[in-house]
């Protein structure tokens, strides 16, 4: 069953980072490149440690900047926050920046092999994880659900330069309007994908949300993502494999909020 679901799941995870433009902010907000999306957490990650397990470094204060926004966090700090969220959660798995960087070439190769129709929609699949990792620090945590395809993830991207954050988040702008439905073909398997904008709220400066549904043969997989942008950080909560979209949206917003609170408490 897992082999049959491989391409639909990969497609859903790759697309989870795309979101509608933020109408109230100065740039679109979303989860960014797939490196920071649930695909990274689900594909290769380290088991969450027990409370006594060490982290790579002790994070400094998460106090906001002069404007009251979340400051820039290092990769080690983000990993420590992800491990805090994973602590006590059976089956939780944390992905750090080094693991995401190691996965990047395979993920980008998969994207390049996909045939996208309409062809104009391929621009949204043209993501360079390596480039994004030059600009942002990342980490994530995956929490398993009640089935093999269901999970909740919280992913973090932190930019020292807010202008680069805005530029990266803007890359997904227009996807819902221009490519709300398209197909991807890989190795003779065709996947039909739909992306739609949703509405959600968090305590961040700006919040966007989207729903992605991937259909391959007789199998369908849905992902709801809520992206919260605050200061130098984007925190995204995603719920994959839950049929009730309203429930998934609520859980995704809660996951993003947990991530924000964890950063603010540092």
What is residue 63's predicted lDDT score, i.e. its pLDDT?
52
d(CA 78, CA 54): 14
Claim: this prediction has a pTM higher than 0.85: no
d(CA 201, CA 151): 21
Mean pLDDT over all residues of the chain? 77
Beta partners for 191?
184
Mean local confidence (pLDDT), 26-53? 35
What is residue 113's predicted lDDT score, i.e. its pLDDT?
83
Read off the pLDDT of residues 235-262 as tens digits, 9 standing for 90 and up.
999 999 999 999 999 999 999 999 999 9
pLDDT-derived band at 11 (thresholds 50, 70, 90) equals very low
Read off the pLDDT of residues 136-195 as tens digits, 9 standing for 90 and up.
999 999 998 878 878 999 999 999 999 999 888 777 777 778 889 999 888 888 889 999
Nearest to 193 by CA among 213, 172, 210: 213
What is residue 222's predicted lDDT score, i.e. its pLDDT?
94
What is residue 65's predicted lDDT score, i.e. its pLDDT?
57
What is residue 48's predicted lDDT score, i.e. its pLDDT?
39
d(CA 212, CA 15): 7
Read off the pLDDT of residues 95-133 as tens digits, 9 standing for 90 and up.
999 998 888 888 778 777 889 999 888 877 766 777 888
Range of weakest confidence among 32-46, 59-73, 82-96: 32-46
Q: How far is CA 136 from CA 36, 74, 158, 167, 214, in A?
A: 10, 9, 5, 12, 28
What is residue 178's predicted lDDT score, i.e. its pLDDT?
85
Query: What are the helix (H) ranges across the chain?
Result: 2-15, 38-43, 75-86, 97-113, 129-135, 162-170, 175-178, 245-264
Nearest to 127 by CA among 169, 155, 187: 169
Range of weakest confidence among 42-51, 160-169, 207-216: 42-51
| Helix or strand holding residue 240 (H, E) | strand 233-240
Beta partners for 117?
183
Q: Which domains does the chain have, with CATH numbers?
A: 2-45+71-258 (3.40.1000)
Helix axes 97-113, 75-86, angle to 10 degrees: 90
DSSP track, 129-159: HHHHHHHEEEEEEEEE-SSTT-EEEEEEEEE
User: Angle at the Cα of 232 (from 99 to 150), degrees rounded to 5?
Assistant: 45
Stronger pLDDT, 83 or 218, i.e. the higher one:
83
Range of weakest confidence among 8-22, 106-120, 159-173, 210-224: 8-22
Beta partners for 140?
95, 155
What is residue 124's predicted lDDT score, i.e. its pLDDT?
74
Mean local confidence (pLDDT), 42-50? 36
pLDDT-derived band at 3 (thresholds 50, 70, 90) equals very low
pLDDT-derived band at 40 (thresholds 50, 70, 90) equals very low
The pLDDT > 70 percentage for the chain reads 73
């Amino acid at each position: 069953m897992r082999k049959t679901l491989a391409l639909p799941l990969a497609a859903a995870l790759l697309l989870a980072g795309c979101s509608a433009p933020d109408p109230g902010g100065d740039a679109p907000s979303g989860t960014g490149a797939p490196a920071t999306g649930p695909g990274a957490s689900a594909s290769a990650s380290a088991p969450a440690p027990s409370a006594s397990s060490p982290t790579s470094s002790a994070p400094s204060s998460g106090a906001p900047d002069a404007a009251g926004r979340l400051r820039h966090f290092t990769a080690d700090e983000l990993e420590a926050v992800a491990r805090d969220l994973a602590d006590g959660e059976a089956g939780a798995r944390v992905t750090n920046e080094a693991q995401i960087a190691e996965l990047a070439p395979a993920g980008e190769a998969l994207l390049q092999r996909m045939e996208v129709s309409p062809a104009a929609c391929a621009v949204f699949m043209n993501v360079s994880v390596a480039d994004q990792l030059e600009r942002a620090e990342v980490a994530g945590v995956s929490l398993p659900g009640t089935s093999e395809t269901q999970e909740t993830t919280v992913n973090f991207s932190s930019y020292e330069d807010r202008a680069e954050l805005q530029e990266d988040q803007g890359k997904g702008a227009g996807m819902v309007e221009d490519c709300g439905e398209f197909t991807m073909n890989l190795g003779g398997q065709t996947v039909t994908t739909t992306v739609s904008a949703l509405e959600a709220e968090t305590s961040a400066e700006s919040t966007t949300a989207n729903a992605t549904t991937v259909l391959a043969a007789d199998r369908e997989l849905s992902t709801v993502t809520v992206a919260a942008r605050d200061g130098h950080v984007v925190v995204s909560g995603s719920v994959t494999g839950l049929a009730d979209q309203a429930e998934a949206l609520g859980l995704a917003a809660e996951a993003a909020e947990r991530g924000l609170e964890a950063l603010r408490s540092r």
